[in-house]
Structure 1
């Protein structure tokens, strides 16, 4: 399992030291930022599994930073634990409405920090052994708790490219029975089930030793902010808004299960690494691909490969999202002395020349021509 990423955003070096000491014996990847502006930049680059965010900071404070996080389609689901001084407790009610997972009053002990973070992340001591990440070829069982057949069909459609099973239950009682027979890998539940059933179900899952670590996502219409905030505050892994965006659902579930999805974009063919850029990627898909560029290029060099084909043949229209991906791949190749060539249509080539950043980029019409002299 990949190490969980934790981002600490605080202007106090002392707080960063406390956090560093608290997690020194655990398999976590720590990042630090000294204000909200830096924090947003690091969060965009690293896509952490948890953000520890101070309320009072220069440049951009924690409340404004939290607001921007919640407005970002990629970052909005990242759990946030706020740090606040005793004198700032009156801000907690306001902040809680914005969807934080928890808050900690300063000063705090390392044990308190570990206990609160442990409610959100599965902290593994160093030396306890690590399992490999799941892949898209592995089996998985997704349990959907919803009384709307159309929603269940949408979830099945989102995962149709995999061999994963999507099991459904119309009521929480049925879902509990199914979970007792086979523990699901992920649970999706309708937050608007009658009498707060989804929230009671969540508490039961967390109280059961077999299911306490199973990721649980709520499903809710976009305007039902009260139930969404309630779900976030009691510990749901996130909320999927309806109508369901298949790419967002796929991304959230894969991330929750620590699934390595790099095979969607990176593969080896004929002894050459290929990076396939999808057509018109959403911000979530672009972020997913961007997060793999650096580790996959390092991995290919480590394995003895030094040639990369950037396959943009499916891209019909170049926008800044595509430009940024291309530049990131090219930069990584140059830093690691990787030879690269770009494949794209004539339309792609013409559009690339219209951008200052890519006007000098040589583009080949197909794989065969790109491989000549490569």
Structure 2
């Protein structure tokens, strides 16, 4: 295979212009290079650096995600992706990527220091005595940006008030005054770290419980949970631990307990991009709450139910409203209906990049849509669908679906 001298020349020129701070010329050169070799890793990495310098962190993160699909074990890509997410205020996802980079390259002291400082600041790690001035340059500036973001979005110590739809109060006061369902709160000692939810691009099965716990409980129904444990999320069929430095929506009657405090308001229904004044509520799960603060919340499923989780990456996801337990606040979502002749089924659609959790009594079946054929299923078994699927009532008790994606069913 012959060398492409022009490509190499464009790559060098783009690097020189980036070093000189001439971002427009650097971008022009790298665009020409990528026109000759689309998807070439060195050129994509350089383009991500240019976008970072232009403060286009969304564009840079998209490139690093693309590169990680080809090089999933490259620590530098995980670290840079984590930094881009931190720039965007996506602290939880950013910290996960930085931590993964440190796991792949445990001898990188600068990354380890940065992880410790950021993890301490956002409440994912124990306090550290490492001074921030050991960081230099861009990492120091990014850490200061994280500190500012956390300070500006932390829970205030202002007056706590009775909650009404649209008002914001602290979580402790909300549940003290709540009348819709009892909330079980108990103190949990440190114990076993549950596995974190993975972060690939498509529909995910829940993380199975390990066959043997590191510390066997005295009773099979006793679970020891460390609220200060490492990791942004804890996920099993029997509980969820969610960090609240970013916004989460969650059902009030699934709450088991919380660590520290948070702001809470009652979420209202959304139709066609418009926010209504009607609370989104269910007779079993209670109201949907919009929560943000410092610390974590622990959620439990309803009796005889188990949690299931989805990670979506700009692929549409539609779920029956009554099954939804929690989802990340950065997702775009709205209410809708699956209509039939004599009934309608409340649904919620999700778009964007983030996590959605549901609860079911039975297993979850993800059935890939066949090419150019319909799938028919009893309406009572429908959980939802992902991808570009069109679902309609066939009869009052049956739906048919077609398109590209998966239909989600239970029994």
- Do both proteins adopt the same fold according to a TM-score greater than 0.5, normalized to the shorter chain? no
Relative to its length, the structure with more helix (as a share) is 1
Q: Which has the higher contact order (CA 8 A, sep 6+)?
A: 1
Relative to its length, the structure with more strand (as a share) is 2
Normalised by the length of structure 1, the TM-score is 0.29
